[in-house]
Amino acid sequence: MAKITFVEFNGTKHVVEVANGLTLMEGARDNDVPGIEADCGGACACSTCHVYLDEAWIAKVPAKDAMEEDMLDFAWEPKPDRSRLSCQVKISDDLNGLVVHLPEKQI
């Protein structure tokens, strides 16, 4: 189980606990975090679960694969070093304390 902090664009914070093995997107969905639409349900077929990793976590989260990189081209204002699709980030004890920021909107 990991504590994850989602920070909305307006600065509102949501601290939630997410079970190991779930994705960041599933944790947001299961805890009613606003701003994660997840239209494709986690299939990496849209960009509506886009988040920005807090700078302190960039090197600690496993790297993106090519499919995620391609889908991030469709995200709202992607940032090459910080943007991730939350459906592709699997939760483990190593991510306890992770902070992610939500974009202004999802497209």
Two tokens, residue 93: 């004890």
Q: Where are the beta strands (DSSP E) in the chain?
A: 2-7, 13-18, 50-53, 83-85, 99-101
Look at residue 78 and tell me if it is in a domain. Answer: yes
Per-residue pLDDT of 79-100, as tens digits, reads 999 999 999 999 999 999 999 9
Look at residue 68 and tell me if it is in a domain. Answer: yes
List the domain range (segments joined by +) for residue 51.
2-101
pLDDT at position 97, please?
A: 98
Q: What mean pLDDT comes out for the span 36-61?
A: 96
Look at residue 106 and tell me if it is in a domain. Answer: no
Per the prediction, the chain carries an average pLDDT of: 97
| CATH code of 35's domain | 3.10.20.30
Look at residue 9 and tell me if it is in a domain. Answer: yes
Per-residue pLDDT of 62-84, as tens digits, reads 999 999 999 999 999 999 999 99
